[in-house]
A and B are shown apart, each in its own frame.
Chain A
Amino acid sequence: EAQVTQNPRYLITVTGKKLTVTCSQNMNHEYMSWYRQDPGLGLRQIYYSMNVEVTDKGDVPEGYKVSRKEKRNFPLILESPSPNQTSLYFCASSFRAGGNEQFFGPGTRLTVL
């Protein structure tokens, strides 16, 4: 089944404790992206990747890192999480950027205490 998977789905952590949220797609998509969703602010793009080893900042990249060493994986790294990073995170992928359908993962709800 074609899908985007994220792990973990739920995470409660404390300020400053490094964490990684994994994202994987099995559709051989070139484009992958991370979003966060907060009440009243909609979805905001954090980082995106046009292909392996190519990443770029979205609208809210501060406090986040990403890597794209393999086509299928696009982990989101929070080196030192803070409470303002408490949010619902979505990973997405598409064949290419621009005129292609994006497939979204189920979301990861992160709480930073």
Chain B
Amino acid sequence: DAKTTQPNSMESNEEEPVHLPCNHSTISGTDYIHWYRQLPSQGPEYVIHGLTSNVNNRMASLAIAEDRKSSTLILHRATLRDAAVYYCIRSDEKLTFGTGTRLTIIP
């Protein structure tokens, strides 16, 4: 039970914004929402996380629905280096990754 649901794959054009959706309908009040990404042949890399409010950092933005049952990772201007598998994760003590969304960037 991955506890989150993401599309298997998405494509986006280079230099355009990308919105990666995630459903986590059974989230509890204390679970954080994390996003990680994994580039080919590398370990997962932290992208962003949040609890209730929208969050921004140098890599991305995280928009969390008011009921917290879904969230969206926003890459504001995709580059070829953003091509990776993106994982949305509910986090308490355990992190359950699921199979993620494979993002392809089209030049």
Contacts and interface: CB of A to CB of B under 8 A. Distances in A.
B96 A98 contact: no
B10 to A, nearest CB: 16
Interface residues of B, number: 23
26 contacts: A33-B95, A35-B97, A40-B99, A42-B87, A42-B98, A42-B99, A42-B100, A43-B44, A44-B96, A45-B94, A45-B95, A48-B93, A59-B94, A90-B43, A90-B44, A92-B43, A98-B30, A98-B32, A98-B91, A98-B92, A99-B49, A101-B46, A102-B44, A102-B95, A105-B43, A107-B42
Interface of A: 33, 35, 40-45, 48, 50, 56, 58-59, 90, 92, 97-99, 101-107
Contacts of A101: 46, 49
A98 B98 contact: no
Interface in B16-70: 30, 32, 34, 36, 42-46, 49, 51
Contacts of B99: 40-42
Contacts of A41: 99
Given A40-B99, A41-B99, A99 B91 contact: yes
Contacts of A45: 94-97
A35 B46 CA distance: 15
A42 B97 contact: yes
Contacts of B96: 44-45, 59
